[in-house]
Structure formats: C-alpha cells, structure tokens
Amino acid sequence: MKLTFHGHAAWEVETGGARVWIDPFLSGNPLADVSADEVNADYVILSHAHADHLGDTEAIAARTGAVVIAMNELANHLASRGLRTEVLQIGGGQSFSFGRVKLVPAYHSSSVDGLYMGKEAGILLRDIEGTVIYHAGDTGLFSDMALIGRAGLDAALLPIGDKFTMGPEDALAAVELLKPRLAMPMHYDTFDPIKQDARAWKVAVEARTGVPVLVLKPGESCIVAAGGGTA
C-alpha cells in the first residue's frame, strides 16, 4: 500500500489498482501539494463533513466518477447532489475492489452549513493484501481506541494539532492505546491555531512508546506493508 500525504488530513491510498482519497481538502489548504483538478480518484472516503475534510470531494467525484464512502447522512446529502455514494455506519464495514472499509467512533462533530451530517467517524482500511491503516479523522482521545487497535494497525494517522482535535500529549496517549506498528501525524500546521512541532512529537512518542513515527511533508509518500492485522 502506498500512502501519500497531501497536507492537513488529506491522504491518497494506492492499492489493488485503485486510487482512494481520504478527506481531500485541497482548495484553501495552504499545505496542499496538488490541486483538485489534478486528482485521479476511484473512491473518496470521508471521516466527517467539515469543510477541511469534505473539501473538494464534490468536484473530484463529479469529474472522476469516484464513489464517495461516508456516514449515512453525509452520503445521502452528497447523493442528492448527484454523486455516487456508498453509505456506512459506525461499526459497519464493506468490501470494495481495493479492500474493506469500516467506520469507527470519533469524538468531534459533523455538519455542513450548520446542518447535521450524521456522526463523525474514524476510518479503518484493510487492503486486499491485509495492510491495515487507521485514519482517526478529527477526534479527541478516548479509551476505546484500544478496541480499534485490536485490528492490528500497520499505520495510524493521528491528528496532533490541538484546539479542534487531540493535541500532542493526547495523541501520544492514543498511540499507547492503539499500539500501531507506525504512527504518522496530521491535522497540524495548516493554520496558525494548530501549529505544532511534529519533530518534537516524534521524539516524545518514540521515547515513551517505542512506536516509530514517520513525519511526512505534503507530497511525500511511504509504503506500508501488512503485519498480519485484520479490520
């Protein structure tokens, strides 16, 4: 599985011949390394409906025909705007050409222009080779992350920005609960209120948990291999 970071909470997953985007916030994202009209996508998975996650989903999906995978209310909202969608709910999963997607709890909110868009979620993705990644979405720390970790996470993508999500201290505690084989920070430095020192977080997490941390700059990629987990 090839993972590319595009700034904020936007990631591109290439696996099984598919291009899967998560939370494609590119227009208005000062860290984005690509523009929405350059994106090729077969699927878009959304953690929640806030503008810094829903982002360019509508334009990308309308142009590429990508299927948008999201919580019930958000998926129905996008379907009413003409997009191809697939509904999931917390705790439920579904298999697609590239692997299986399951939505898991997050503690945050989810709305478009003040309209309720269903529950916010985290995303578990298990590709056809068995590689498991967890994109936490926007969330505070919660102890049931230990349950999510039971899937056997090859990589955990965690917000560290503070203010709207976990800050560095709670994100370190999340690593302790999730026990991933690799942790990667996201949702920081995009805007002044969420400026963080990702290098310092890496040093702290590695010292206190033993879990390696990879800090990707926007546009950088890594290969994540299966360690035998299931999601």
Nearer of residues 151 and 184 to Mn ion, judged by Cβ: 184
Residue 23 interacts with Mn ion (CB under 5 A): yes or no? no
Q: Are 149 and 180 in contact (CB under 8 A)?
A: yes
Q: Are 29 and 8 in contact (CB under 8 A)?
A: yes
Nearer of residues 65 and 116 to Mn ion, judged by Cβ: 116
Q: Which of residues 56-115 bind Mn ion (CB under 5 A)?
A: none
Compute the half-sphere exposure of residue 213: CA atoms within 13 Å on the CB side of its CA. Answer: 27
Task: Tell me the one-letter amino acid at 137.
Answer: G
Residue 138 interacts with Mn ion (CB under 5 A): yes or no? yes
Of 14, 52, 56, 154, which one interacts with Mn ion (CB under 5 A)?
Answer: 52
Query: Could you tell me which residues come within 8 angstroms of residue 222 by beta carbon, excluding any fewer than 6 positions away?
Result: 2, 3, 184, 214, 216
From the list 177, 112, 99, 84, the residue with the least C-alpha distance to 139 is 177
Residue 14 interacts with Mn ion (CB under 5 A): yes or no? no
Q: How far is the CB of 177 from Mn ion (least distance, A)?
A: 21
Question: How far is the C-alpha of 57 from the C-alpha of 222, rounded, in Å?
Answer: 23
Q: How far is the CB of 82 from Mn ion (least distance, A)?
A: 25
Nearer of residues 55 and 99 to Ni ion, judged by Cβ: 55
Count of residues touching Ni ion (by CB under 5 A): 2
Residue 189 interacts with Mn ion (CB under 5 A): yes or no? no
Candidates 18-26, 95-103, 133-141, 210-218; binding stretch for Ni ion (CB under 5 A)? 133-141
Nearer of residues 106 and 151 to Ni ion, judged by Cβ: 106
Compute the half-sphere exposure of residue 89: CA atoms within 13 Å on the CB side of its CA. Answer: 2
Q: How far is the CB of 217 from Ni ion (least distance, A)?
A: 22
Of 138, 154, 162, 189, which one interacts with Ni ion (CB under 5 A)?
Answer: 138
Task: Tell me the one-letter amino acid at 191.
Answer: F
To the nearest 10°, report the CA torsion of 216, 53, 129, 151: 100
Nearer of residues 25 and 98 to Ni ion, judged by Cβ: 25
Residue 50 interacts with Ni ion (CB under 5 A): yes or no? yes
Q: How far is the CB of 60 from Mn ion (least distance, A)?
A: 18
DSSP 181: S
Angle between helix axes 57-64 and 72-80 (nearest 10 degrees) is: 60
**Tokens at residue 56, please?**
């360019």
Residue 42 interacts with Ni ion (CB under 5 A): yes or no? no
Task: Enumerate binding residues for Mn ion (CB under 5 A).
Answer: 52, 138
Task: Enumerate binding residues for Ni ion (CB under 5 A).
Answer: 50, 138
